[in-house]
Amino acid sequence: MIDARAAVLLDAGADPELTGIRIRPPVGDEVLVRIDAVGICHTDISVAARWPQRRMPMVFGHEGAGTVEAAGPSAGVAVGRRVVLTFASCGECPNCVEGRPAYCRRSTDLNLRGARDALHLGDEAITGGFFGQSSLATYALASARNTVPVDDDLDPALAAPLGCSVQTGVGTVLNTIAPQRGDTLVVYGVGAVGLSAVMGARIAGCGDIVAVDPVPERRALAAELGATATVDPTSADATAEIVELTGGGAHAAIDTTAIPDVLAGALTALRARGTLAIVGLGAPTAALPVGLIMGSGLTVRGVVEGDSEPHTFIPRLAGLVRSGELPLEKVVTRYRFDDFGDGWSAAKSGRVVKPVLVTGS
């Protein structure tokens, strides 16, 4: 067994606490990764808040970056290799075979339910395997499918968010919407995913890029990262302002908020045959203007993990970080791993965009 420290959720309604755990060695295609940096994502916060007591203790974390310490006999990943951890998939269902692993038939089981065969707290087996990694820890056990090799010179603190938030935001623009140069795009909610979408729109050569968020500091950061205009959604005429800014309506919009009224407003701000991509998790249902959708030929599309095939797309993102096209240093706030509580609190409050815990000195 390998000794590690992890942020462990012990009680419903509480925050995870740093404590010692043990991890069994990798078998089969598994990979043991020493975590050098790990992002705290809104999904960690929201799922932890509703995680059932019967499934505790539990370790979250799904934006890990680190170094391979050991590998099972069929993993095919070299010890010492720098890697980014991402979402898990089975590799066998039709969507995985067709290169669409984000829509794996076993996605819920592999990413959101966890398992009790790898992590131990004292003599007790505890739940891990969140997104196939549970990387809010100094070591994580993943599989070859969700372990993506990257170059050694990539800063781990900038590599970590590539596994989820950046992959989702940039991927939704480049892989799903695939805008034509000069197209107009609106991003609703500019947290880590939304700001990544803004950067993706700039990379794609969009014309008008409008960032919509109630927080002035986030609107300012969106402008710095490529938004050509920003809108405060609390304004009485926000939708009319967006329509004017985009010359009669946007070609596409991305919603990260999952707020029903925001979704309806986003559809109203589209031009005929426009597309709304929904990437946020929130309210399970929303009343949408069906007549408008049909009459204007609008497309409403759900997007998971930016429609990404991680072993292809994450190295592409890493190249964009190195070239300066994805200036993630403007989005990331670093915390020592020992200061996990501060980083978790910052993520819960929205005080910073992307807290990243860095292990070591």
Taking only the tens place, the pLDDT of each residue in 173-227 is 999 999 999 999 999 999 999 999 999 999 999 999 999 999 999 999 999 999 9
The whole-angstrom separation of Cα 173 and Cα 36 is 29
Query: Facing residues of 125 across strands?
Result: 120
Average of per-residue pLDDT across 339-345: 97
Q: Tens digits of per-residue pLDDT, 16-44?
A: 999 999 999 999 999 999 999 999 999 99
CA distances 341 to 6, 294, 338, Å, are 12, 48, 8
Q: Tens digits of per-residue pLDDT, 216-270?
A: 999 999 999 999 999 999 988 999 999 999 999 999 999 999 999 999 999 999 9
CA distances 93 to 4, 96, 102, Å, are 34, 5, 11
Q: Tens digits of per-residue pLDDT, 87-100?
A: 999 999 999 999 99
- Bridge-based pairing state of the strands 82-85 and 64-71: antiparallel
Q: Tens digits of per-residue pLDDT, 279-328?
A: 988 767 788 899 999 999 999 999 999 999 999 999 999 999 999 999 99
Local confidence band at 361 (pLDDT 50, 70, 90 cut-offs): low
Local confidence band at 117 (pLDDT 50, 70, 90 cut-offs): confident
